Amino acid sequence: MNFPVLVGSLLLLTGTQVSAHIKQEYVLPLRGCGTFCRVETEQLTYPAIMDDGWIKVKVIQRLFITYKDKNGDWKSRPCSLSKDRCGPPESVVWLFADCAREKFASSSNPDRSNALEKSVFYTEGKLAGIPRHGTVAQNLFAQWVKLCHGKSLEGMELYRREMQKMVDSFQ
């Protein structure tokens, strides 16, 4: 276990407040959510290890949409639930990763009680063994790698290797 995860886990367990400025090393800062849609994620806590081995981190996620204004220029703005039908513009959630079993989940509850756990790799069909990457798959693999490995060399190499496997499978 690396030092920031250990310190963050100890601080969360003891109830000690963490610094107001937390390095954004364990979350994917930006991912797509559909055509002209993006989710920006800000890490609010250091990762903590749960009793069952899963890692959790509290984040705030903000939805943005890109649109053409009346002059034909492309603009980006926060999602508006009443105007855009794209969900809440901002939500505080917990992200979870089971590094050993290659699973990822998110939940509004810190105990993962209402989370839907998903494999970060496709498990069936022609895509079996390929990372769940891309907008339609919520970039599960990239989110999992960030939470399990941060900016470590092992994590970057795993990401590079798996993305190359994905590219090779389509050729």
Other Cβ atoms within 10 Å of 19 Cβ, number: 8
Position 126 scores a pLDDT of 83
Overall number of domains in the chain: 1
Expressed as residue numbers, the domain containing 51 is: 3-169
For residues 38 and 17, the answer to whether their CB atoms sit within 8 Å is no
Helices (H), 24-152: 81-84, 140-149
Residue 118 has pLDDT above 90, yes or no: yes
Closest residue by Cα to residue 74 from 40, 39, 36, 38: 36
Output the pTM of the full model. 0.76
Q: Name the more confident of 99 and 160.
A: 99
Q: Name the more confident of 70 and 166.
A: 70
Residues near 139 by beta carbon (within 8 Å), at least 6 away in sequence: 28, 31, 32, 132, 133
